Amino acid sequence: MGNHVKIIEADISGDLATLVYKNADQINALTKDVSTLLERTKQIDTQIQKNAEQIQKNADQIGALTKDVSTLVERTKQIPILTEQVGKLNLAWGKAQGLVATVGIAVLILMEVIRTLS
């Protein structure tokens, strides 16, 4: 019985060796394909890492832009207040010009009165 097992093992080993020999070209081709796939996987992994770094940079820039937009929104809210203040300043300036004109006329009248009295 022990010899029978060895014969079967030898037959299986021989058959396996024959199969490997007959399929050596295919095995080599598959080995090259696997090697190519591993290299491509490394390239993809490297690209994924670069993309992740770029995404982080973009996220940082988006954060900064969001802050800038928020500041602009706050400043935009101040526009009506500033517009109202400018309107008040314009009104005050108009009144000041009117006052200067009135004083100027009063001075002219006073000068005329002084000349008449002299």
Which pLDDT tens digits describe the chain residue by residue (118 residues)? 555 545 555 566 667 777 777 888 888 899 999 999 999 999 999 999 999 999 999 999 999 999 999 999 999 999 999 999 999 999 999 999 999 999 999 999 999 999 898 7
The radius of gyration of the chain's CA atoms, rounded to the nearest angstrom, is: 48
Within the chain, strands assigned E span none
Write down the pLDDT at residue 8: 54
Write down the pLDDT at residue 49: 97
CA distance 96 to 53: 62
Write down the pLDDT at residue 85: 95
Q: Name residue 104's amino acid.
A: G
This model's pTM is above 0.95: no
Write down the pLDDT at residue 68: 96
Write down the pLDDT at residue 25: 87
Write down the pLDDT at residue 4: 54
